[in-house]
Amino acid sequence: MKHVKLLFLSLVISMMTVALVACGSEPQVVTETVEVVKEVEVVKEVEVVKTETVTETVEVEVEVEAARERREIIFAGLDWTSVMVQNGVASYIVEHGYGYPVSSVPGSTVPLFQGLIKGDVDINMEVWLPNQNEAWDKGTKNGQVIGVGKSLADNWQSTFVVHQHTLDANPGLVKATDLLEYHHLFTEPDSGGKGVLVGCIAGWACRGVNEAQIEVLGLSDVIELRDPGSQAGLFASIGAAGDKGTDWLGYMWGPTQPDIDYDLVVLEQDPAEDCGGEPKLGCSFGLAEVLVAVHATMLEDAPDVVSFLNKYSWPAEYQLPAEAWYNDNKDKSEYKDDPGEAVAEWFLTEHDGWEAWLTEEAVENIHHHLEHDH
């Protein structure tokens, strides 16, 4: 217990006596100062929160008021399916389990990570490394961004992906550098004889990796990088080529639905270790480390949410069924207003592993809300 004495020395009670005397005499002011002392008890408690960086787990002690106000928590509204689903689940838990108002800011990787550094965003559910190495190093070095746990299981990704049927017909196409000879397989009527590579969307951090790899591997004269406009556009181009048996070249990652539905193959590049883990130098990406990160103010403002994120995980056995449900139902009339909340309710009803992430009170709150909402 800490006692705080609040001394109000400046409280002044003024009593004014005004005497009006003949010949316009001046008003007379009498001032009396009263000292008031008030005792107020403020209860504080200390909560220990673990934060995890890429290389280590750090314990941080955060002193919080027991009756602190729960402010709005803002999520990074990134524009691909896996993070839309994770945002739906995590924000549902934060709102209905822990009692915080929630919202999200829509956008792409680069601007939203800058928002996280500035504090305009509180939680980013998918920080992809090594794609965002430069921004990550900047944010964590200055202490604004803190990694608090794992997001997706380690994912593969590559700038140079093709269908197996393309390799079956062209056995000499093995490495990315073989595109110097085989680029003609991927030309389009408007590509001027260059092979078209369907890459990352502008605003995704991997776009810069696509551009750098094409240049470093000496493919700029034979490969044109094109923006699919959206994840849906990227997936549709893969599906169309897979269904028709035509040749397609582009960026892809997994596990994803196209990775499951079609026989995709990564063209060989030098291993990531040969470039010190920096794919912009022309080597493969290596396995992606996908993290959950928060702005530093969350440690004090919402330590219970940080504790939840410390325990959170989203393995493939959660990811793929949840994404499939989301894709199948997000446009239905009963769900389209808030498909994130809909997939959260589906996941939290169908699974119970999430209960290990939360306090007993938060678990009870979630179950109560799910029962009441239905």
Q: Spell out the per-residue pLDDT of the chain, length 374, in tens.
A: 444 333 333 333 333 333 333 334 444 444 444 444 444 343 434 344 444 434 343 444 444 444 568 999 999 999 999 999 999 999 999 999 999 999 999 999 999 999 999 999 999 999 999 999 999 999 999 999 999 999 998 799 999 999 999 999 999 999 999 999 999 999 999 999 999 999 999 999 999 999 999 999 999 999 999 999 999 999 999 999 999 999 999 999 999 989 999 999 999 999 999 999 999 999 999 899 999 999 999 999 999 999 999 999 999 999 999 999 999 999 999 998 999 999 999 999 999 999 999 999 999 999 999 987 65
- Topology match between the domains 46-145+304-373 and 156-281: yes
Residue type, 163: H
323 SS3 class: helix
Q: Is residue 258 within 8 Å of residue 252, measured between CB atoms?
A: yes
| Per-residue pLDDT, 27 | 42
132 SS3 class: coil
Determine the Cα–Cα distance for residues 175 and 122; give it in Å rounded to an integer: 41
Determine the Cα–Cα distance for residues 124 and 20; give it in Å rounded to an integer: 71
Determine the Cα–Cα distance for residues 69 and 159; give it in Å rounded to an integer: 46
Q: Is residue 65 within 8 Å of residue 42, measured between CB atoms?
A: yes
Domain ranges (residues) in the chain: 2-42, 46-145+304-373, 156-281
DSSP string, 201-236: PBTBTHHHHHHHHHHHTT-TTTEEEE--SSHHHHHH
* 371 Cβ neighbours under 8 A, 6+ residues apart: none
Query: Looking at the chain, how many residues does it have?
Result: 374
Q: Is residue 107 within 8 Å of residue 84, measured between CB atoms?
A: no
Q: Is residue 355 within 8 Å of residue 90, measured between CB atoms?
A: no
Peptide bond just before 255 cis, omega within 30 deg: yes
In degrees rounded to 5, what are phi and psi of residue 298? -65, -25
The CATH architecture one would assign to domain 156-281 is 3-Layer(aba) Sandwich (3.40)
**What is the token pair recorded at 199?**
């890459």
Residue 373 parent element (H or E): helix 360-373
Q: Is residue 124 within 8 Å of residue 83, measured between CB atoms?
A: no
Determine the Cα–Cα distance for residues 72 and 94; give it in Å rounded to an integer: 10
Under CATH, domain 46-145+304-373 is a member of which superfamily? Periplasmic binding protein-like II (3.40.190.10)
| Per-residue pLDDT, 185 | 98
| Per-residue pLDDT, 124 | 98
Q: How far is CA 367 from CA 92, 93, 111, in A?
A: 12, 11, 36
The DSSP call for residue 131 is T
Write out the E strands in the chain: 2-8, 12-17, 28-33, 36-42, 44-52, 57-65, 73-77, 102-106, 123-129, 145-150, 156-163, 195-198, 223-226, 250-254, 264-266, 289-295
Determine the Cα–Cα distance for residues 280 and 217; give it in Å rounded to an integer: 10
**Interior angle at CA 338, CA 347 and CA 201, nearest 5:** 90
**What is the token pair recorded at 254?**
């997994």
Determine the Cα–Cα distance for residues 320 and 230; give it in Å rounded to an integer: 19
**What is the token pair recorded at 329?**
């139902």
Peptide bond just before 101 cis, omega within 30 deg: no
Q: Please choose, from the candidates 330, 373, 318, 374, the residue with its C-alpha nearest in 3D space to the C-alpha of residue 96.
A: 373
Number of Cβ atoms within 10 Å of the Cβ of 92: 23
Q: Is residue 290 within 8 Å of residue 155, measured between CB atoms?
A: yes
Q: Is residue 130 within 8 Å of residue 154, measured between CB atoms?
A: no
| Per-residue pLDDT, 24 | 40
**What is the token pair recorded at 109?**
């990787």
Determine the Cα–Cα distance for residues 8 and 38; give it in Å rounded to an integer: 8
Residue type, 188: E
